[in-house]
Amino acid sequence: MNDALPETRYRLLGPVEARRGGEPVPVPAARQRAILAALLLRAGRIVAVGTLVDLLWGDRPPPTAVVTARNYVSRLRKAVPAVRTAAGGYRLDVPPGTLDLDRFERLTADARSQSPAAAVPLLDEALALWHGPPLADLGALPIHAIEAPRLDELRLAAIGDRLDALLRTGEAGRLVPELVRLVGRHPLRERFVGQLMQALHASDRLPEALDLYRRTRNRLVTDLAVEPGPVLRRLHQRLLETI
């Protein structure tokens, strides 16, 4: 009977969601959605019950954690019948193209093998899959602290790839406002700092680019006790040589 159900599509790049026939599948309990996220992040692999307990409760599980986790899975299966019992845990097989994270990773991988001009639309398509911070509705659960940073790092890397491609296609001038916002949110992310320095230089704003390096270096030394990395230092030296 399940074979007659419309295809289920899944989202992790924002609130965790399953959709069937274009409509949301009700998964109201946060811990059920957390289990769904854990299975999707390990699609096709067995996820042990102990792993689920860790992701749901961290290092302070209740005495009934294993039983409770199994009950959550049982309820989740009513909404998502594709969840399967496996040796020591559970598994969710996800058909190609039905998980937003898979599509995002495929598009970003494809973009890396293309010319800058061809990469930009692929990266735009990939970034359009995001509809909020990853696992946005699970912020109170340990799974968020464990898994969300890695997912957000993928998003930031894709943003950086897109900006690199645009810089190489002569779009530097129009990128300055976007890069100013990004550096404001991620002031110690050297890739964005370097991209803003390049965009400022290309816009005949070299003093601002050099001042940005100075401020970034001061902050790195003060906050983290480190010097800028070699890529940013080499960029700074190249800009100095243009004076």
Compute φ and ψ for 167, nearest 5 degrees.
-60, -35
Interior CA angle at 211 toward 194 and 195, to 5°? 15
Amino acid (1-letter code) at residue 199:
A
Mean local confidence (pLDDT), 105-112:
97
Are 12 and 133 in contact by the 8 Å Cβ rule? The answer is no
The 3-state DSSP class for residue 223 equals helix
The 10s digit of each residue's pLDDT in 58-101 is 999 999 999 999 999 999 999 999 999 998 899 999 999 999 99
Mean local confidence (pLDDT), 224-233:
97
Instruction: Give a yes or no: residue 123 inside a domain.
Output: yes
Mean local confidence (pLDDT), 112-141:
96
Tokens of 27: 């998964």
Together in a domain, 145 and 228: yes
Between β-strands 83-86 and 89-92, what pairing exists: parallel, antiparallel or unpaired? antiparallel
Together in a domain, 59 and 124: no
Q: What is the pLDDT of residue 6?
A: 80
Instruction: Give a yes or no: residue 106 inside a domain.
Output: no
Closest CA to 100 of 63, 71, 129: 129
Tokens of 192: 């964005």
For residue 185, give every residue at least 6 positions away whose Cβ sits within 8 Å of its Cβ, in sequence order, or none. Answer: none
Together in a domain, 37 and 82: yes
Which position has the token pair 């069937």?
Answer: 20
Query: What's the structural domain count of the chain?
Result: 2
Instruction: Give a yes or no: residue 101 inside a domain.
Output: no
Mean local confidence (pLDDT), 17-38:
94
Q: How confident is the model at residue 22 (pLDDT cuts 50, 70, 90)?
A: confident
Q: What is the pLDDT of residue 88?
A: 87
Are 8 and 19 in contact by the 8 Å Cβ rule? The answer is yes
Q: What is the pLDDT of residue 192?
A: 98
Which position has the token pair 């026939």?
Answer: 21
Q: Which of 92, 110, 134 is the last residue of a domain?
A: 92
Tokens of 230: 């070699």
Rounded mean pLDDT of the chain? 95
- DSSP-derived secondary structure letter, 220: I
Q: What is the pLDDT of residue 4?
A: 61
The 3-state DSSP class for residue 99 equals strand
Answer yes or no: is pLDDT of 1 > 70.
Answer: no
Give the CATH number for residue 232. 1.25.40.10
How far is 78 from 148, CA to CA, in rounded Å?
26
For residue 100, give every residue at least 6 positions away whose Cβ sits within 8 Å of its Cβ, in sequence order, or none. Answer: 9, 10, 11, 12, 13, 129
Together in a domain, 157 and 66: no
Tokens of 10: 């899944």
Q: 26: domain range? A: 2-92
Closest CA to 231 of 183, 205, 193, 203: 193
Q: How confident is the model at residue 113 (pLDDT cuts 50, 70, 90)?
A: very high
